[in-house]
Structure 1
Amino acid sequence: MAGVNNKDKEPLPEIPMPLLNDPRPAPDSDQVVSAFKTLEPTRDFSTMKKSPCAKESFIDGAAMGLGVGLLKAMRSGANRSAANWGFGAFVLMTVGTWEYCHFKIRERRQLMASGQMPVVNTMDIDVAKRREAIAARQRDV
Protein backbone atom coordinates (compact mmCIF):
# COMPACT_ATOMS: atom_id res chain seq x y z
CA MET A 1 0.00 0.00 0.00
CA ALA A 2 1.29 3.41 -0.85
CA GLY A 3 1.94 5.87 1.96
CA VAL A 4 1.93 3.29 4.77
CA ASN A 5 5.15 2.73 6.67
CA ASN A 6 5.23 -0.95 7.71
CA LYS A 7 8.41 -0.45 9.75
CA ASP A 8 6.55 1.46 12.49
CA LYS A 9 3.84 -1.16 12.96
CA GLU A 10 4.06 -3.93 15.52
CA PRO A 11 4.37 -7.43 14.13
CA LEU A 12 1.25 -9.55 14.23
CA PRO A 13 1.11 -12.01 17.13
CA GLU A 14 1.86 -15.59 16.29
CA ILE A 15 -1.17 -17.83 16.17
CA PRO A 16 -0.43 -21.21 17.74
CA MET A 17 -0.95 -24.14 15.45
CA PRO A 18 -3.03 -27.02 16.76
CA LEU A 19 -1.01 -29.70 18.44
CA LEU A 20 -0.76 -32.86 16.46
CA ASN A 21 0.24 -34.85 19.50
CA ASP A 22 -2.28 -33.58 22.02
CA PRO A 23 -1.20 -34.66 25.54
CA ARG A 24 -4.81 -35.33 26.54
CA PRO A 25 -5.84 -38.88 25.75
CA ALA A 26 -8.71 -39.37 23.36
CA PRO A 27 -11.71 -41.10 24.91
CA ASP A 28 -11.56 -44.81 24.36
CA SER A 29 -14.50 -46.53 22.80
CA ASP A 30 -14.57 -48.67 25.96
CA GLN A 31 -15.21 -45.54 28.06
CA VAL A 32 -18.05 -44.47 25.81
CA VAL A 33 -19.57 -47.94 25.82
CA SER A 34 -19.32 -48.19 29.62
CA ALA A 35 -20.97 -44.76 29.94
CA PHE A 36 -23.91 -45.94 27.82
CA LYS A 37 -24.14 -49.15 29.85
CA THR A 38 -24.81 -47.11 33.00
CA LEU A 39 -27.99 -45.71 31.44
CA GLU A 40 -31.20 -47.34 32.56
CA PRO A 41 -34.07 -45.68 30.70
CA THR A 42 -36.83 -47.14 32.87
CA ARG A 43 -35.16 -45.97 36.07
CA ASP A 44 -33.97 -42.65 34.68
CA PHE A 45 -37.30 -41.64 33.15
CA SER A 46 -39.36 -42.85 36.12
CA THR A 47 -37.33 -40.72 38.54
CA MET A 48 -37.39 -37.67 36.26
CA LYS A 49 -40.76 -36.56 37.62
CA LYS A 50 -39.18 -36.23 41.07
CA SER A 51 -36.75 -33.62 39.75
CA PRO A 52 -37.64 -30.13 40.99
CA CYS A 53 -37.72 -28.53 37.54
CA ALA A 54 -38.89 -31.30 35.22
CA LYS A 55 -42.63 -30.69 35.23
CA GLU A 56 -42.40 -26.94 34.68
CA SER A 57 -39.74 -27.30 32.00
CA PHE A 58 -41.70 -29.86 29.98
CA ILE A 59 -44.95 -27.91 30.26
CA ASP A 60 -43.27 -24.68 29.16
CA GLY A 61 -41.47 -26.49 26.34
CA ALA A 62 -44.63 -28.20 25.13
CA ALA A 63 -46.59 -24.95 25.15
CA MET A 64 -43.85 -23.11 23.28
CA GLY A 65 -43.38 -25.91 20.75
CA LEU A 66 -47.10 -26.18 20.11
CA GLY A 67 -47.45 -22.43 19.73
CA VAL A 68 -44.50 -22.05 17.37
CA GLY A 69 -45.54 -25.09 15.34
CA LEU A 70 -49.12 -23.87 14.94
CA LEU A 71 -48.04 -20.35 14.01
CA LYS A 72 -45.57 -21.68 11.46
CA ALA A 73 -48.20 -24.02 9.99
CA MET A 74 -50.78 -21.24 9.72
CA ARG A 75 -48.30 -18.86 8.19
CA SER A 76 -46.52 -21.09 5.67
CA GLY A 77 -48.75 -24.13 5.31
CA ALA A 78 -45.73 -26.45 5.24
CA ASN A 79 -46.54 -29.06 7.87
CA ARG A 80 -43.14 -30.74 7.88
CA SER A 81 -41.36 -27.44 8.36
CA ALA A 82 -43.86 -26.44 11.05
CA ALA A 83 -43.23 -29.70 12.90
CA ASN A 84 -39.48 -29.11 12.77
CA TRP A 85 -39.89 -25.56 14.06
CA GLY A 86 -42.23 -26.74 16.81
CA PHE A 87 -39.89 -29.51 17.93
CA GLY A 88 -36.93 -27.14 17.89
CA ALA A 89 -38.84 -24.61 19.98
CA PHE A 90 -39.86 -27.40 22.39
CA VAL A 91 -36.26 -28.52 22.88
CA LEU A 92 -34.87 -24.99 23.28
CA MET A 93 -37.58 -23.92 25.70
CA THR A 94 -37.33 -27.10 27.76
CA VAL A 95 -33.56 -26.87 28.08
CA GLY A 96 -33.70 -23.14 28.72
CA THR A 97 -36.29 -23.32 31.49
CA TRP A 98 -34.56 -26.36 32.99
CA GLU A 99 -31.24 -24.51 33.17
CA TYR A 100 -32.85 -21.32 34.50
CA CYS A 101 -34.69 -23.25 37.20
CA HIS A 102 -31.50 -25.02 38.29
CA PHE A 103 -29.64 -21.69 38.23
CA LYS A 104 -32.21 -20.23 40.63
CA ILE A 105 -31.92 -23.28 42.89
CA ARG A 106 -28.11 -22.97 43.00
CA GLU A 107 -28.47 -19.24 43.70
CA ARG A 108 -30.87 -19.89 46.60
CA ARG A 109 -28.56 -22.55 48.05
CA GLN A 110 -25.61 -20.15 47.92
CA LEU A 111 -27.62 -17.44 49.65
CA MET A 112 -28.73 -19.89 52.35
CA ALA A 113 -25.17 -21.13 52.83
CA SER A 114 -23.87 -17.59 53.20
CA GLY A 115 -26.62 -16.72 55.70
CA GLN A 116 -28.14 -13.96 53.56
CA MET A 117 -31.39 -15.91 53.11
CA PRO A 118 -33.14 -17.70 55.96
CA VAL A 119 -33.64 -21.41 55.58
CA VAL A 120 -37.38 -22.03 55.45
CA ASN A 121 -38.81 -25.45 56.04
CA THR A 122 -41.71 -25.83 53.63
CA MET A 123 -43.19 -28.61 55.75
CA ASP A 124 -43.74 -26.11 58.56
CA ILE A 125 -45.47 -23.72 56.17
CA ASP A 126 -47.73 -26.50 54.86
CA VAL A 127 -48.64 -27.60 58.39
CA ALA A 128 -49.42 -24.01 59.38
CA LYS A 129 -51.66 -23.55 56.32
CA ARG A 130 -53.49 -26.79 57.08
CA ARG A 131 -54.05 -25.75 60.68
CA GLU A 132 -55.42 -22.40 59.55
CA ALA A 133 -57.75 -24.11 57.07
CA ILE A 134 -59.01 -26.53 59.73
CA ALA A 135 -59.56 -23.67 62.18
CA ALA A 136 -61.47 -21.71 59.53
CA ARG A 137 -63.71 -24.72 58.79
CA GLN A 138 -64.41 -25.24 62.48
CA ARG A 139 -65.41 -21.58 62.86
CA ASP A 140 -67.80 -21.90 59.92
CA VAL A 141 -69.53 -24.95 61.44
Structure 2
Amino acid sequence: MADDTRDSQQPAPQEPPPGATASPDHAKNSKTYEVFNAPSPPPNANALPAGSGLNTAGSRQEIPTLGDAIKTVRLGDFAQVHMYPCVRESLLTGIGGGFAMGGVRALLGAHIPKAANWAVGTFVFASFANYEFCLYRRRLEKQYMKRAVEIIDRKKMEKEAEREKIRKERRAAKEEADRKAEEAAKRSSWKFW
Protein backbone atom coordinates (compact mmCIF):
# COMPACT_ATOMS: atom_id res chain seq x y z
CA MET A 1 0.00 0.00 0.00
CA ALA A 2 2.87 2.32 0.72
CA ASP A 3 4.16 1.61 -2.80
CA ASP A 4 0.78 2.63 -4.28
CA THR A 5 0.89 6.02 -2.58
CA ARG A 6 4.44 6.67 -3.80
CA ASP A 7 3.47 5.85 -7.39
CA SER A 8 0.39 8.07 -7.33
CA GLN A 9 2.24 11.10 -6.01
CA GLN A 10 3.31 13.77 -8.43
CA PRO A 11 7.08 14.09 -8.91
CA ALA A 12 8.54 16.90 -6.89
CA PRO A 13 9.70 19.91 -8.91
CA GLN A 14 13.41 19.88 -9.42
CA GLU A 15 15.37 22.37 -7.40
CA PRO A 16 18.48 24.09 -8.69
CA PRO A 17 21.69 22.12 -8.17
CA PRO A 18 23.53 22.65 -4.90
CA GLY A 19 25.57 25.83 -4.94
CA ALA A 20 23.43 27.42 -7.65
CA THR A 21 22.14 30.87 -6.87
CA ALA A 22 19.26 32.88 -8.24
CA SER A 23 20.18 35.40 -10.88
CA PRO A 24 20.92 38.84 -9.43
CA ASP A 25 18.39 41.64 -9.61
CA HIS A 26 20.26 43.47 -12.35
CA ALA A 27 20.12 40.33 -14.53
CA LYS A 28 16.35 40.17 -14.07
CA ASN A 29 16.00 43.71 -15.38
CA SER A 30 15.68 43.12 -19.11
CA LYS A 31 15.64 46.83 -19.90
CA THR A 32 19.42 47.17 -20.11
CA TYR A 33 19.67 44.09 -22.30
CA GLU A 34 16.99 45.40 -24.66
CA VAL A 35 18.84 48.70 -25.00
CA PHE A 36 22.09 47.03 -25.96
CA ASN A 37 20.53 44.57 -28.44
CA ALA A 38 21.17 41.46 -26.41
CA PRO A 39 18.38 38.89 -26.84
CA SER A 40 18.14 38.03 -23.14
CA PRO A 41 20.09 38.12 -19.91
CA PRO A 42 23.10 35.83 -19.83
CA PRO A 43 22.39 32.23 -18.84
CA ASN A 44 23.12 30.99 -15.35
CA ALA A 45 26.76 29.96 -15.11
CA ASN A 46 25.87 27.07 -12.80
CA ALA A 47 23.51 25.41 -15.28
CA LEU A 48 24.64 22.51 -17.43
CA PRO A 49 24.82 23.04 -21.18
CA ALA A 50 21.75 22.11 -23.19
CA GLY A 51 21.61 18.49 -24.24
CA SER A 52 24.18 17.32 -21.73
CA GLY A 53 21.69 15.16 -19.87
CA LEU A 54 22.60 14.21 -16.35
CA ASN A 55 26.32 13.89 -16.91
CA THR A 56 28.86 16.66 -17.15
CA ALA A 57 30.62 15.32 -20.22
CA GLY A 58 27.99 16.61 -22.64
CA SER A 59 28.00 15.89 -26.34
CA ARG A 60 31.06 16.36 -28.52
CA GLN A 61 30.78 19.15 -31.04
CA GLU A 62 32.81 19.34 -34.20
CA ILE A 63 35.74 21.72 -34.17
CA PRO A 64 35.31 24.29 -36.94
CA THR A 65 37.93 24.23 -39.66
CA LEU A 66 39.29 26.89 -42.00
CA GLY A 67 37.18 25.42 -44.80
CA ASP A 68 34.02 25.89 -42.72
CA ALA A 69 34.98 29.50 -42.11
CA ILE A 70 35.60 30.13 -45.81
CA LYS A 71 32.20 28.64 -46.68
CA THR A 72 30.49 31.30 -44.55
CA VAL A 73 31.98 34.18 -46.58
CA ARG A 74 29.76 35.46 -49.39
CA LEU A 75 30.55 37.86 -52.21
CA GLY A 76 27.74 40.10 -51.01
CA ASP A 77 29.71 40.71 -47.81
CA PHE A 78 32.42 42.48 -49.79
CA ALA A 79 29.83 44.65 -51.51
CA GLN A 80 28.53 45.82 -48.13
CA VAL A 81 31.83 46.07 -46.25
CA HIS A 82 31.56 49.86 -46.07
CA MET A 83 28.34 49.52 -44.03
CA TYR A 84 30.01 47.79 -41.09
CA PRO A 85 30.91 49.99 -38.13
CA CYS A 86 34.35 51.65 -38.22
CA VAL A 87 35.28 50.22 -41.64
CA ARG A 88 34.56 53.29 -43.75
CA GLU A 89 36.47 55.63 -41.44
CA SER A 90 39.47 53.31 -41.21
CA LEU A 91 39.65 52.71 -44.96
CA LEU A 92 39.56 56.45 -45.63
CA THR A 93 42.28 57.03 -43.03
CA GLY A 94 44.39 54.26 -44.57
CA ILE A 95 43.92 55.62 -48.09
CA GLY A 96 44.89 59.13 -46.99
CA GLY A 97 47.88 57.93 -44.99
CA GLY A 98 49.09 55.63 -47.77
CA PHE A 99 48.74 58.34 -50.40
CA ALA A 100 50.60 60.82 -48.21
CA MET A 101 53.44 58.42 -47.32
CA GLY A 102 53.84 57.19 -50.91
CA GLY A 103 53.83 60.77 -52.20
CA VAL A 104 56.39 61.92 -49.64
CA ARG A 105 58.66 58.94 -50.41
CA ALA A 106 58.37 59.66 -54.16
CA LEU A 107 59.14 63.37 -53.64
CA LEU A 108 62.18 62.51 -51.52
CA GLY A 109 63.66 60.58 -54.44
CA ALA A 110 62.67 56.96 -53.76
CA HIS A 111 61.97 54.77 -56.76
CA ILE A 112 58.29 54.33 -57.68
CA PRO A 113 58.04 50.64 -56.64
CA LYS A 114 59.65 51.43 -53.29
CA ALA A 115 57.33 54.43 -52.76
CA ALA A 116 54.35 52.23 -53.72
CA ASN A 117 55.41 49.58 -51.20
CA TRP A 118 55.59 52.25 -48.50
CA ALA A 119 52.15 53.51 -49.54
CA VAL A 120 50.61 50.04 -49.37
CA GLY A 121 52.28 49.27 -46.04
CA THR A 122 51.11 52.55 -44.59
CA PHE A 123 47.58 51.93 -45.91
CA VAL A 124 47.43 48.49 -44.24
CA PHE A 125 48.94 49.65 -40.95
CA ALA A 126 46.89 52.86 -40.69
CA SER A 127 43.63 51.10 -41.63
CA PHE A 128 44.17 48.29 -39.14
CA ALA A 129 45.24 50.64 -36.34
CA ASN A 130 42.33 53.02 -36.90
CA TYR A 131 39.86 50.14 -37.10
CA GLU A 132 41.01 48.65 -33.80
CA PHE A 133 41.03 52.07 -32.12
CA CYS A 134 37.52 52.78 -33.40
CA LEU A 135 36.27 49.44 -32.04
CA TYR A 136 37.92 50.22 -28.71
CA ARG A 137 36.15 53.60 -28.57
CA ARG A 138 32.83 51.95 -29.42
CA ARG A 139 33.27 49.41 -26.61
CA LEU A 140 34.06 52.21 -24.17
CA GLU A 141 31.07 54.22 -25.37
CA LYS A 142 28.80 51.19 -24.96
CA GLN A 143 30.09 50.64 -21.41
CA TYR A 144 29.56 54.31 -20.55
CA MET A 145 26.08 54.25 -22.06
CA LYS A 146 25.21 51.13 -20.08
CA ARG A 147 26.53 52.74 -16.91
CA ALA A 148 24.56 55.92 -17.67
CA VAL A 149 21.36 53.91 -18.17
CA GLU A 150 21.94 52.13 -14.86
CA ILE A 151 22.60 55.43 -13.07
CA ILE A 152 19.49 57.01 -14.58
CA ASP A 153 17.39 54.01 -13.54
CA ARG A 154 18.85 54.11 -10.03
CA LYS A 155 18.22 57.87 -9.74
CA LYS A 156 14.68 57.36 -10.98
CA MET A 157 14.06 54.68 -8.34
CA GLU A 158 15.60 56.93 -5.65
CA LYS A 159 13.38 59.85 -6.68
CA GLU A 160 10.33 57.59 -6.68
CA ALA A 161 11.25 56.31 -3.21
CA GLU A 162 11.70 59.91 -2.01
CA ARG A 163 8.31 60.89 -3.46
CA GLU A 164 6.70 57.88 -1.80
CA LYS A 165 8.31 58.86 1.51
CA ILE A 166 6.98 62.43 1.17
CA ARG A 167 3.52 61.06 0.30
CA LYS A 168 3.54 58.86 3.40
CA GLU A 169 4.65 61.77 5.58
CA ARG A 170 1.91 64.00 4.15
CA ARG A 171 -0.65 61.24 4.59
CA ALA A 172 0.44 60.72 8.22
CA ALA A 173 0.31 64.49 8.89
CA LYS A 174 -3.15 64.73 7.31
CA GLU A 175 -4.41 61.76 9.33
CA GLU A 176 -2.99 63.34 12.50
CA ALA A 177 -4.65 66.67 11.67
CA ASP A 178 -7.96 64.89 10.94
CA ARG A 179 -7.71 62.98 14.21
CA LYS A 180 -7.05 66.18 16.16
CA ALA A 181 -9.94 67.91 14.41
CA GLU A 182 -12.27 65.01 15.30
CA GLU A 183 -11.15 65.11 18.94
CA ALA A 184 -11.68 68.88 19.06
CA ALA A 185 -15.13 68.46 17.50
CA LYS A 186 -16.05 65.78 20.04
CA ARG A 187 -14.91 67.95 22.94
CA SER A 188 -16.77 70.97 21.69
CA SER A 189 -20.00 69.04 21.15
CA TRP A 190 -20.27 68.13 24.87
CA LYS A 191 -20.47 71.68 26.11
CA PHE A 192 -23.43 72.54 28.31
CA TRP A 193 -25.03 75.89 27.53
- 1:93-112 correspondence runs (5 A): 93-112=126-145
Task: Show the counterpart of 1:92.
Answer: 125
- 1:78-89 correspondence runs (5 A): 78-89=111-122
Structure 1 residue 38, shift from structure 2 partner: 1.5
Question: Is the CA contact 1:57–1:93 (under 8 Å) kept in the aligned structure 2?
Answer: yes
The structure having more radius of gyration, on CA atoms, is 2
Question: 1:32 is matched with which residue: 66, 86, 106?
Answer: 66
Task: Give the aligned length.
Answer: 90
Task: Show the counterpart of 2:147.
Answer: 114
TM-score, normalising length: structure 1:
0.57
Question: Whole-Å Cα distance in 1 between the matches of residues 120 and 151 of structure 2?
Answer: 40
Deviations 1:39-58 (A, max 9, x none): 11x22112212112121111
Secondary structure of the 1:68 match is helix
Aligned Cα RMSD in Å? 2.4
Distance 1:87 1:36, change over 3 A: same
Q: Which has the higher contact order (CA 8 A, sep 6+)?
A: 1
- 1:44-59 correspondence runs (5 A): 44-59=77-92
Does 1:64 find its partner at 2:97? yes
Question: Whole-Å Cα distance in 2 between the matches of residues 77 and 105 of structure 1?
Answer: 39
Segments of structure 1 that go 5 or more residues without pairing to the other structure are 1-27, 120-141
Question: Is the CA contact 1:111–1:117 (under 8 Å) kept in the aligned structure 2?
Answer: no
Question: Whole-Å Cα distance in 2 between the matches of residues 52 and 33 of structure 1?
Answer: 26
**Which deviates the most, 86-95 or 74-83?**
74-83
Distance 1:75 1:105, change over 3 A: same
Identity of aligned residues (%): 28
Question: Whole-Å Cα distance in 2 between the matches of residues 87 and 71 of structure 1?
Answer: 13
Question: Is the CA contact 1:57–1:94 (under 8 Å) kept in the aligned structure 2?
Answer: yes
